Amino acid sequence: MNEAPSGRLSGRIVAATHNKGKLAELADLLAPRGLEVVGAGALGLAEPEETGDSFAANAAIKAHAAARAAGLPALADDSGLCVAALDDAPGIYSARWAGEGRDFAGAMARIARELEARGAPAPWRAHFVSALALAWPDGRLESFEGRVDGRLVFPPRGTSGFGYDPIFVPDGHARSFGEMTAQEKHGLPRDNSLALSHRARAFQKLARALID
């Protein structure tokens, strides 16, 4: 069973990602709700081409592809960093700025270079966006979005998290996401009010609608 009689989600779910850091975050968020999480990589699922023009569109592409291939509900995340002084780049191209080798150190250095080239003065405002798409094999889809605003810092700080976490300091805090624990970013396992990260905030909406 993957959907309870009430329409709530239960049982086994595919995390439609091959990104180990993202898989770990989704598992951290789903596990306290009693859901068994299996990654797309463990099932040998191919990565679909992300041809959407928004975070939500790309998340839906990934979720639909995994749900059809696995015959299970699939949860996909498409997320990225939007830097105000760079016209919200890298945005939906955040992963692509890191290249096939997922070189986020290089991607963060590129952001620093482009800010310098534009003569953009600090503080460098930015926000993270996460779009979560939950798809079922029959084609149904639910979408949820979360956002967190903050500023960028250089050089990068901390080694926790993944992606652009070390250069992003959320509003109201002095430390970067790279210096925070997973619990600090996600909140307590069942306390939605403490969600801090963009992914946790999107998941908070999903959980209220389909799990809790």
Give per-residue pLDDT as tens, 121-162: 999 999 999 999 999 999 999 999 999 999 999 999 999 888
Catalytic residue among 78, 138, 171, 191: 78
Annotation marks residue 88 as catalytic: no
Which CATH fold would you assign to the domain 12-210?
Answer: Maf protein (3.90.950)
- For residue 132, give the H/E element and its range: strand 124-135
> Domain spans of the chain?
12-210
Question: What's the pLDDT tens digit per position in 77-127?
Answer: 999 999 999 999 999 999 999 998 889 999 999 999 999 999 999 999 999
When pLDDT is averaged across residues 30-48 and rounded to a whole number, the result is 88
CA of 151: how far to CAs of 83, 92, 175, 182, in Å? 9, 18, 11, 20
